[in-house]
Structure 1
Amino acid sequence: MEKYSLTKKLGSGSFGCVWQAVNKHSGEVVAIKALKKSYSREKCLNLREVKCLRKLNHPNFVKVKELIVEKGNVLFVFECMQCNLYQLMEAKKQKQQLFSESAVKAWLFQVFRGLDYVHQQGYFHRDLKPENLLVSQGTIKIADFGLAREIDAFPPYTERVGTRWYQAPEILFKSGLYSSKVDMWAMGAIMAELLLFRPLFQGTDEADQMYKICSVLGSPTMNSWADGLRQAMAINYQFPQLSGVNLSALMPSASEDAINLIESLCSWDPCKRPTAAEALQHPFFKRCLYVPPHLRSTPAVAATRRGMLKQQGDRIDAEALPYPKIVKQLSPLDIMTAVQQNSAAGRKGQQSLANKAIAANRQPMGQMKLPSMKAGVQWNAESRDWFLGPFQNLEPGRIYNEKFG
């Protein structure tokens, strides 16, 4: 820790505290997360988040630079992003502006790329929300893999995951029977919020959350979610009988393709929601050039009528295409040039019953002290042993979930 100089606190929560710091040698600004709980080196290596991030590596994931373990204290050093999507929305609200659909498209395109990768690697996130999508210079990255689980793990999974406003209806049933499609529901809710500038489903508790979903989508039927109706009957639950609303009326500035994608992502039946790879092929992203990793055939270089088509990873060199000028004009990734850095006070009212007890016993930010680290066990990115999950950019007044199984 002697090589880092702390500059300010970014926030705190039930897990610990996040600090902004500067590397004294390189001048690089980083974010350091100090956990409240103590772990031995062995236990640290067995944390689910550690195992997940040891396996995952993608340009749209927040990068872990270093892990420090000393005398039971655990510090994670991450790249420091400018802000998160929620902070960007608050900054726009202050100026009474909305995001352009092209900006929303560019962000979602990158997030779906990251999700496609993580799902193909056998994990799902389970806690996607605007606060966990961090932005710097037009690049967006998924953060906080503390609730990530293996797709092939045997259900039932834990009932209390994620943040209520972005929870899929199957999670609200608390049966523990759900899949990676909960990530797709969350993305539909996030997409709507980016266009609407308020949460699409803003429930005050689990029952009200289901009511809010029914009021927007309409109550489920045997055609839209037969399995859900059977689950409801099994626990003697009756869905509110509501007709729903037209999303186009809620978001009049959104395109037909945008509305269609949101409706698809927020389908009652998880089986009817698209995968991340399928979402990338939706007409909403028709101007984006992307080939999901598991669908790529081939050679790094392929011939075209006008020369060579250069493919590096998931990007295609537009100059090699038959009409490079047109392609460049249409690519949404060329649209974003900068990101505002303003942050705003956190929003309230998102506290679940479980979180009320957690918040009551939470240690105040002012009492959090960063442990001194002069010697101990240390891993870093340069040695290829970086492996812990990204930090969560916390905001005052916002309630964050405890991490459950």
Structure 2
Amino acid sequence: MPLHSSGIAIGGAGLLKSKGDRMQKREGPCVGTKGFRAPEVLFRSVHQGTKLDIWSAGATLLYFIIGRTPFAGDPDQNIKEIVKLKGSEDLWEVAKLHNRESSFPADLFDTKSLSPVKLRDWCSRNTRKLDFLEIIPQSLIDLVDKCLTSNPRLRISAEDALRHEFFAPCYETWRKQKLHRLRFSQESQDLGSTLTIPESSQSCSIVNKVQVAN
């Protein structure tokens, strides 16, 4: 069964190739560390925004979780590896979004459409340290999954990523530290006020010293 998109079967790559030959579509750069590049980079889109860094951050966290580069190989192989996680429909939609259908690996057209899998299940199959995976909180898995959203338009923003529940303990710690500093500052000010010698007392002290000197 060939790859489907929106219920319409794609018969093969030949039509796309001939169409691409006529249109001479522009290509964007495909730079970055292998295995950490976003789909729009792998498809050589000319529209590459800051969301590609969110994908790279997610891939870096995924590397931390499973202990190896998550998506290895050249751009075509990277796309095939991502398809195993995100599904072929997701990647095909990204290719269409960026007008880069011709960059979609040709051999994926003639295979059965692959469904996405849950990230934790994918990690279980690909990790080098299963014991470590078992202690990874679900909140981190969810954050990584949102960072690795195929469509950059739907991918989580940097601001929302920092507000994610995974970072809640950090914010709570910072809040407590801030309150502690404020209390310490206030107590220091109060103590300073208590130890300050009144102006009248200072004057008396000076007069006494002058009298003793005389």
Fold agreement, TM-score > 0.5:
yes
| Bigger Cα displacement from structure 2, 259-268 vs 244-253 | 244-253
Provide the residue aligned with 1:289 in structure 2.
Answer: 171
Return closer, same or farther for 1:218/1:164 CA change in 2, 3 Å cut-off: same
* Displacement of 1:258: 1.0
Counterparts of 1:2-401 in structure 2, within 5 Å, are 159-202=29-72, 204-221=73-90, 226-231=93-98, 234-235=101-102, 237=104, 240=108, 241-249=113-121, 250-251=123-124, 252-253=133-134, 254-289=136-171, 317-319=178-180
Answer yes or no: is the 8 Å Cα contact 1:220–1:268 preserved in 2.
no
The residue type paired with residue 259 of structure 1 is: I
Answer yes or no: is the 8 Å Cα contact 1:218–1:244 preserved in 2.
yes
Aligned-partner Cα distance in 1 for 2:54–2:94: 18
The residue type paired with residue 270 of structure 1 is: P
Q: TM-score, normalised by structure 1?
A: 0.31
* Displacement of 1:227: 4.7
Relative contact order, CA 8 A, sep 6+: which one is greater? 1
Answer yes or no: is the 8 Å Cα contact 1:184–1:276 preserved in 2.
yes
Provide the residue aligned with 1:28 in structure 2.
Answer: none
Q: Which of the two has greater strand per residue?
A: 1
Q: Deviations over 1:260-294 (max 9, x none)?
A: 1111000011122222221110011111129xxxx
RMSD across aligned positions (CA)? 3.2
The residue type paired with residue 114 of structure 2 is: L
* Displacement of 1:321: 7.8
Return closer, same or farther for 1:190/1:233 CA change in 2, 3 Å cut-off: closer
* Displacement of 1:174: 1.1
The residue type paired with residue 208 of structure 1 is: Q
Q: Which of the two has greater helix per residue?
A: 2
Alignment gaps of 5+ in structure 1: 1-155, 291-309, 323-405
Return closer, same or farther for 1:248/1:174 CA change in 2, 3 Å cut-off: same
Aligned-partner Cα distance in 1 for 2:103–2:64: 36
Of all paired residues, the percent bearing the same amino acid is: 26
